[in-house]
């Protein structure tokens, strides 16, 4: 058994004679004709037509976005019905006062806390929560805010 293992080991380590060895592989030749890609070309003559990439919905149809509002003040009360959140609508600088349960476009106020207001934004049948937080402003002692 031991001699069989030695014989197999010696045979495995031997190289074939030069006559029986295979010649080295030749590198593959590059194709003589380059590959041509054919693509469709579209031409849009926009003279007198609308921009095809412009949204079909106008701003009022899109509704109010949460990013369009900034929370500027919160009047909180232990009774949630008496708490009021004051927002500023960007672009028009219009102030809006909202209480819990009130809506502004697609935004509904769900909770008013001393430093934040929680709302639900309903877009295309999907409701997602959004939280507005009051920005803190720091002033040095002796300076006007």
CATH number at residue 107: 2.30.30.830
Output the tens digit of pLDDT for each of the chain's 145 residues.
666 666 666 666 655 555 566 667 676 666 677 788 888 888 878 788 888 887 776 666 566 778 888 899 999 888 888 999 999 988 788 898 999 999 888 899 999 998 999 999 988 888 999 999 988 765 566 555 5
Asked whether the CA dihedral 133, 134, 136, 137 is positive or negative, the reply is: positive
pLDDT at site 13: 60
Note whether residue 72 is domain-resident.
yes
pLDDT at site 108: 92
Identify whether the C-beta of residue 107 lies closer than 8 Å to the C-beta of residue 66. yes
The Cα–Cα gap between 95 and 100 comes to 17
pTM above 0.85, yes or no: no
Structural domain tally of the chain?
1
Note whether residue 29 is domain-resident.
no
Note whether residue 10 is domain-resident.
no
Q: What is the CA radius of gyration of the chain?
A: 37
The Cα–Cα gap between 56 and 138 comes to 44
Note whether residue 73 is domain-resident.
yes
Note whether residue 49 is domain-resident.
no
Note whether residue 93 is domain-resident.
yes
Its domain, for residue 80, covers 59-133
Note whether residue 42 is domain-resident.
no
Interior/surface letters 9-37, b for 16+ CB within 10 angstroms, e for the rest: eeeeeeeeeeeeeeeeeeeeeeeeeeeee
Note whether residue 98 is domain-resident.
yes
């Amino acid at each position: 058994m031991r001699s069989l293992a030695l014989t197999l080991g010696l045979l495995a380590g031997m190289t074939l004679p030069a006559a029986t060895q295979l010649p080295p592989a030749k590198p593959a030749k590059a194709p003589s004709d380059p590959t041509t890609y054919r693509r469709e070309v579209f031409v849009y003559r926009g003279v007198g037509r609308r921009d095809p990439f412009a949204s079909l919905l106008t701003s009022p149809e899109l509704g109010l976005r949460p990013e369009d509002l900034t929370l500027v003040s919160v009047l909180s009360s232990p009774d949630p019905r008496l708490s009021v959140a004051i927002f500023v609508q960007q672009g028009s600088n219009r102030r809006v006062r909202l209480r819990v349960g009130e809506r502004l476009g697609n935004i509904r106020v769900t909770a008013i806390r001393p430093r934040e207001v929680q709302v639900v934004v309903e877009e295309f049948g999907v409701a997602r929560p959004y939280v507005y937080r009051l920005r803190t402003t720091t002033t040095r002692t002796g300076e006007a805010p």
